[in-house]
Amino acid sequence: MKTLILLVIVFLLQPVTSCMSDDSAGRREVQKAYESRLNGHADEALGILNTLLSKDSTLALAHYELARTKWYMLTGGGDVRIDDILASLDKSVAYDPGNVGYAFTRATATFLKAFISMQRQSEQVAQDIAATGRAYEDVLKLRPDHRQAMLYLVEIYGMLPPDMGGDSLKGAHYAAELAKLDDYYGAKARLDLSPEGTDPLAFWTDYATTHEKNAAVLSELGKACLFTDKPEEAEKYFTEAMALDPSRNILLLDIARYHLMQVMRNKETADKELPLSATYFEKYLSSTPAPIIPLKAYATGWLSRIKQFQGDQAGAEKLTAEAKALDPYFSHATGIPTAFLFDPPEKENDRFVSFFSFY
């Protein structure tokens, strides 16, 4: 009898041990795909993930990383649709329904789909925004105090008109709830719902008088300076923020983009603004910590376009070749690729980046 019991126990344990081993191997493959993408090989990452999922279609982490890979390739002009990204995220949520990060990422991808509808002036906008609201509310069901999800709900309900899915009462409700949870996110919500014409620099300056000037607040002050056309002051605040948190060296790209925007608004400023923009892209490339390859390629790509704007075709072609050699899928968008795409795959995504703000 003891022998029989022992055999039963061994039999029951075997599949559990096997699954754990397979899951561990699968996670290692996901990590390998992630590292390939960060090294500029998104196609290779895609192949690793598709092969992995052909063997085990239930690995939520692999579906999540596949969605991030597709999302990144979309920014670089890859043959990807937003619905392809959402399909992978739907599977990650289906196979791990309690994972807050997956649910939050799916909600943000749903918002991206709605934002694309807005850009195209599609009749689907209100429907897509309603889907976005439901997706973020699903996140709050999993974690009622999720600050970033709540702030997105403030934006979609509080900043959009009713015909696009806005609902001022819902926006105010979520802003009030957020204020109870977190002073900083509550302040961001108040600014989102403030009357048109509110000075963001005055708002954050006032906030800073009663709160710690940490890296997040200093970043807000710097971005507010850019909104109010004070780039020198912005650099001062950004420098302070980077001293506290060196990983915020990406703020240098915001100054570079500011000077590009001046040219887009007024081409007559090109002789002054384009060299300034190039200077800050170059400062970012030589900053510490060293930029990861996808962002290095992004900045190099913009330096190429600046050369082209300046009439230096040979210089532009050289830099374009350098960017493509680093990463064929480097982002062609004006906006900086969102940081969650570059976080380790098992790190919970809680990144907030406004769809309604250039910085």
Model confidence pLDDT, tens digit, residues 322-343? 999 999 999 998 899 999 999 9
The mean per-residue pLDDT over the stretch 35-59 comes to 98
Cis previous bond, 289, omega within 30: yes
What string of H, E and C letters represents the secondary structure of 252-291? HHHHHHHHHHHHHHCHHHHHHHHHHHHHHHHHHHCCCCCC
- Give the per-residue pLDDT at 4: 34
Q: Does residue 49 surpass a pLDDT of 70?
A: yes
Residue pLDDT, tens place only, 214-266: 999 999 999 999 999 999 999 999 999 999 999 999 999 999 999 999 999 99
Domain assignment present for 46: yes
Average pLDDT value over all residues in the chain: 93
- Whether the Cβ atoms of residue 185 and residue 220 lie closer than 8 Å to each other: no
Residue 51 placed within a domain: yes
- Sequence-distant (≥ 6) Cβ neighbours of residue 234 within 8 angstroms: 222, 223, 225, 226, 254, 255, 258
Q: Supply the range of the domain harboring residue 40.
A: 26-97
Q: Is residue 356 part of a domain?
A: no
Mean pLDDT value of segment 152-157? 98
Question: Above 80 in pLDDT, residue 24?
Answer: yes
Assess whether pLDDT exceeds 90 at residue 308. yes
The domain that holds 44 is classified in CATH as: 1.25.40.10
Three-state SS at 23: helix
Q: Which of 149, 128, 145, 155 is nearest to 137 (CA)?
A: 149
Residue 238 · residue 222 · CB < 8 Å = yes
pLDDT of residue 288: 97
Residue 236 corresponds to which tokens in the numbers above? 């001062």
Does the pLDDT at position 353 exceed 90? yes
Contact 182, 208 (CB under 8 A): no
Q: Residue 310: its pLDDT value, please?
A: 96
Tell me the pTM: 0.92
Give the CA count within 13 Å in the CB-facing half-sphere of 309: 20
Q: Which residues contact 199 (CB under 8 A, 6 or more apart)?
A: 228
- CA–CA separation, 336 and 349 (whole Å): 17
In a domain, 63, yes or no: yes
- In this predicted structure, what is the pLDDT of residue 22? 53
Q: Say how far apart CA 282 and CA 274 lie, in whole Å.
A: 12
Centroid of chain to Cα 173: 25
> What does the pLDDT read at residue 1?
41
* Tens of pLDDT, residues 70-92: 999 999 999 999 999 999 999 99
Q: Is the pLDDT of residue 16 over 50?
A: no
Residue 35 lies in a domain: yes
- Residue 41 in domain: yes
Taking a C-beta distance cutoff of 8 angstroms, is the pair 176, 162 a contact? no
Q: Is residue 11's pLDDT more than 80?
A: no
**Residue 12: which pLDDT band, with cuts at 50, 70 and 90?**
very low
CB neighbour burial string for 102-133, b if at least 16 within 10 angstroms, e if fewer: bbbbbbbbbbbbbbebbeeeeeebbebbebbb
Residue 219 domain-assigned?
A: no
Does 320 score more than 80 pLDDT?
A: yes
- Model pLDDT for residues 188-218, shown as the tens digit of each residue: 999 999 999 999 999 999 999 999 999 999 9
**Could you tell me if residue 331 is inside a domain?**
no
Number of domains the chain is built from: 1
